[in-house]
Chain A
Amino acid sequence: MILFALLLIPFSYLMLGLLIKKSGIKQRLALLFATVNFLWALALVPIVQFREIIVVQMGSWAAPYGISLVADRFSVLMLVVAAFVFFLTTIYATQSVDKARRKNGHFFFSFGILMGVNGSFMAGDLFNLYVWFEVMLMSSFILVSLGGERQQLEGSIKYLILNLISSLFFVAGIGLLYGKLGSLNLADLSQKMASATDNLAVLNPALILIFVGFSIKGALFPFFFWLPASYHTPPPAVTALFAGLLTKVGIYSLVRFYTLFLYYDHGFWNEVVLWMGGLSMVIGVIAASSQYDFRKILSFHIISQVGYVVIALGFFTVAGLTAALFFLVHNMLAKTNAFLVAGWVHRERGTLNLKVLGDMFNKSPVWGILFFISAFSLAGLPPLSGFFGKYLVLKAGIEADQIFITLVALFVGLFTLFSMVKIWMEVFWKRQPEDIAQPAPINLKPANWMLFSSVVMALAIVGMGLWAAPIVDYCQLAAEDLLTPSKYIDYVLGYH
């Protein structure tokens, strides 16, 4: 029940959202349910520290036959951070998203995303994971297109089609894998693969299809095209939510998949993962530096940051996985906050074109500092969370003897700094360009709740930098669990 509640909370909201008509009540309920979800996820942390891996068998059917919900330390970490991001973006959306969208189900479909995200983090069954991906995809598709502006529809078509292709690959891979091994339970599959190590090549078609599916979801090179094509079109609150949650689910699945299955064929997959991660880092950051739209720069940076996590996964040591988890958490927080600031700029000025913007620091130094914190955390300046994230990744890389890729990561850090300084200079620092026609400001109502959620997020980023040690310790325990899949198998299949 403790895990099932995380599905129940968004589900109950969906039910109430259909039954209740008044949008004011729905908004209050959304805040309430987001809070409850966050507190519940937080309560899982001490439980998982004590019990190590929480397993619930749905419908009391034993593990390889029924559907298991599993949460180890990694899942719980992701659940907590996702719930935190969701909580703050919900507060933010109450003032950032316009009234028509809020009335027409903005919160409703956000909770659809939350349900999909929570489900994917807990899925102990490959097909179940696919179903949660679909729940997430459908809700996010509606959120991208909600409002129906021309630009939005263009973005959402690309988003939908490329993500459906990813689902197709994923489900085709599941079918092949099921045909070969006769099971869908992750733990059971892993065990079966362990006993069939001599002819693993038979499984490669299925694994490659699933791997491509995850890479499209996680926006890795060369499958990232849907992300920068669609993320700058919906309202900023929606982009912030997506940036914090969606690609991270793909990366979560990739980490889970790698540590349970792909590592059996380590020689083949390690190269693939390292190359894809490295190229994502480089291409993402270079593409970002050529953009002149606030949100497009940040969208390309998602690709590059995801690359860091993937190379850290590719090192495949305890230090590497610790770094990957820490970096993933840092990225969810910092990236979301950067988008939250973009939302404020968009609200004040009605545009996010860097050439038109300027002089925002004088307008509100607080927001300027908030952007400074998140941007320079992304770029990796101490004492913010990004510094420790990058430090851990580089250290793990050197220890794992992957000098080349570590140097690449260092260079990418420099370019990230360049892009962030560019946004900082263009949006906050430079004088207002006089010769370009300014769009009239649209909305001058107070933005105190927007400010509140961004401040809390920034505090979390700073806090994660200042008190990094306990988080790193937790990530290390999680990484050790990930590197001993036999533990996961024992817990899920009930041998423990």
Chain B
Amino acid sequence: MNNIILEKIARLFLRVIAVMSVLLLLRGHNSPGGGFIGGIVLATGFIYYGIIFGSDRIQSIIYFNTRIWMGIGLGLVLVAAVIPVFVGQAPLTGLWYIGEWPLVGTMHIGTPLLFDTGIFVGVTGLILSVIITIMEVLKWNT
């Protein structure tokens, strides 16, 4: 498909959506949002991009195979679940580090963020894996 307006919009859309999804991920713990919805939002950006440019271009942007991304997501979840065990807490307990950071001031960093990031990566990987497979079956790569 050669439509310059659509192509420009799709590129822009992907960037805006990517920033949005990370925002959703970060505000997730105390406000509506989180890893799951962030992942879905990011995946919609990629789907739109893929509809215009074909699934090969999605694959080249995300670099690793979607399977690997899912694995990385599960790995982050696993790490976040197991870390509390090493400080003598029950698994999945939220551990927080409250620190002063330049520019942003006081910020709480904890294992729930890691957990949510894992979900974020895993959900994006899963949806893209489904979409890329469907596109390959439909030969949507012209």
Q: Show the binding face of A for B, using Cβ within 8 Å.
A: 1, 4, 8, 11-12, 14-19, 56-60
Chain A neighbourhood of B84, CB < 8 A = 60
Evaluate whether A18 and B71 lie within 8 angstroms (CB atoms) in the complex, with A1-B91, A56-B91, A57-B90 already known.
yes
Question: Does chain A have a CB within 8 A of B68?
Answer: yes
Question: Does chain A have a CB within 8 A of B6?
Answer: no
Evaluate whether A19 and B75 lie within 8 angstroms (CB atoms) in the complex, with A57-B90, A58-B92 already known.
yes
Q: In the complex, which of the residues A16, A18, A56 has the most CB atoms of chain B within 10 Å of its own CB atom?
A: A18
Question: Does chain A have a CB within 8 A of B82?
Answer: yes
Evaluate whether A4 and B75 lie within 8 angstroms (CB atoms) in the complex, with A18-B68, A18-B70, A19-B68 already known.
no
Chain B neighbourhood of A60, CB < 8 A = 84, 89-90, 93
Q: Are A15 and B68 in contact (CB under 8 A)?
A: no
A60 to B70, CA, bound (A): 27
Chain B neighbourhood of A14, CB < 8 A = 74
Q: Name the distance in Å between B36's Cβ and chain A's nearest Cβ.
A: 14
Residue interface mask B87-110, A partner, CB < 8 A = 1: 001111110000000000000000
Q: Are A16 and B71 in contact (CB under 8 A)?
A: yes
Q: Which of B67, B71, B90 sits near A56, CB closer than 8 Å?
A: B90
Question: Does chain A have a CB within 8 A of B20?
Answer: no
Q: Are A11 and B74 in contact (CB under 8 A)?
A: yes
A15 to B68, CA, bound (A): 9
- List 13 other contacts, CB 8 Å, given A57-B90, A60-B84, A60-B90: A1-B85, A1-B90, A1-B91, A4-B81, A8-B91, A15-B75, A15-B78, A18-B70, A19-B72, A58-B90, A58-B92, A59-B94, A60-B89
Q: Name the distance in Å between A243's Cβ and chain B's nearest Cβ.
A: 29
Q: Are A58 and B78 in contact (CB under 8 A)?
A: no
A8 to B81, CA, bound (A): 9
Q: How many pairs, one residue from A and one from B, have CB atoms within 8 Å of each other in the complex? A: 46
Chain A neighbourhood of B71, CB < 8 A = 15-19
Chain A neighbourhood of B74, CB < 8 A = 11, 14-15, 18
A1 to B85, CA, bound (A): 7
Dominant secondary structure at the A interface:
helix
Q: Name the distance in Å between A192's Cβ and chain B's nearest Cβ.
A: 25
Q: Name the distance in Å between B84's Cβ and chain A's nearest Cβ.
A: 8
Evaluate whether A11 and B78 lie within 8 angstroms (CB atoms) in the complex, with A56-B90, A59-B90, A60-B89 already known.
yes
Q: Are A18 and B85 in contact (CB under 8 A)?
A: no
Evaluate whether A59 and B93 lie within 8 angstroms (CB atoms) in the complex, with A1-B85, A18-B68 already known.
yes
Closest residue of chain A to B82 (Cβ to Cβ) is A8
A15 to B67, CA, bound (A): 10
Closest residue of chain B to A3 (Cβ to Cβ) is B91
Q: Are A58 and B91 in contact (CB under 8 A)?
A: yes
How many interface residues does chain B have, given as a range?
A: 10 to 19
Q: Name the distance in Å between A66's Cβ and chain B's nearest Cβ.
A: 9
29 CB contacts below 8 A, A to B, read A1-B85, A1-B90, A1-B91, A4-B81, A4-B85, A8-B81, A8-B82, A11-B74, A11-B78, A12-B78, A15-B71, A15-B75, A18-B67, A18-B68, A18-B74, A19-B67, A19-B72, A19-B75, A56-B90, A57-B90, A58-B90, A58-B91, A58-B92, A59-B90, A59-B92, A59-B94, A60-B84, A60-B89, A60-B90
Q: Name the distance in Å between A487's Cβ and chain B's nearest Cβ.
A: 22
Closest residue of chain B to A56 (Cβ to Cβ) is B90
A11 to B92, CA, bound (A): 14
Chain A neighbourhood of B68, CB < 8 A = 18-19
Q: Name the distance in Å between A279's Cβ and chain B's nearest Cβ.
A: 42
A12 to B71, CA, bound (A): 10
Chain B neighbourhood of A4, CB < 8 A = 81, 85, 90-91
Chain A neighbourhood of B75, CB < 8 A = 15, 19
Chain A neighbourhood of B70, CB < 8 A = 18
Closest residue of chain B to A20 (Cβ to Cβ) is B71
A19 to B69, CA, bound (A): 8
What are the 5 A-B residue pairs with the smallest beta carbon separation, nearest first?
A18-B71, A19-B71, A15-B74, A59-B92, A60-B93
A352 to B81, CA, bound (A): 46
Closest residue of chain A to B74 (Cβ to Cβ) is A15
A328 to B78, CA, bound (A): 33
Closest residue of chain A to B67 (Cβ to Cβ) is A18
Chain A neighbourhood of B85, CB < 8 A = 1, 4
Closest residue of chain A to B70 (Cβ to Cβ) is A18
Chain B neighbourhood of A16, CB < 8 A = 71
Closest residue of chain B to A15 (Cβ to Cβ) is B74
Q: Name the distance in Å between A104's Cβ and chain B's nearest Cβ.
A: 12
A15 to B80, CA, bound (A): 14
Closest residue of chain A to B93 (Cβ to Cβ) is A60
A39 to B18, CA, bound (A): 45
B residues 97-137 in Cβ contact with A at 8 Å: none
Chain B neighbourhood of A1, CB < 8 A = 85, 90-91
Evaluate whether A8 and B67 lie within 8 angstroms (CB atoms) in the complex, with A1-B85, A59-B92 already known.
no
Chain A neighbourhood of B92, CB < 8 A = 58-59
A4 to B93, CA, bound (A): 13
Q: Name the distance in Å between B134's Cβ and chain A's nearest Cβ.
A: 17
Chain B neighbourhood of A15, CB < 8 A = 71, 74-75, 78
Closest residue of chain A to B125 (Cβ to Cβ) is A18
A1 to B86, CA, bound (A): 10
A18 to B71, CA, bound (A): 5
Closest residue of chain B to A18 (Cβ to Cβ) is B71
Chain A neighbourhood of B91, CB < 8 A = 1, 4, 8, 56, 58-59
Closest residue of chain A to B91 (Cβ to Cβ) is A4
A14 to B78, CA, bound (A): 11
A133 to B100, CA, bound (A): 44
Closest residue of chain B to A4 (Cβ to Cβ) is B91
Q: Name the distance in Å between A127's Cβ and chain B's nearest Cβ.
A: 16
Chain B neighbourhood of A19, CB < 8 A = 67-68, 71-72, 75
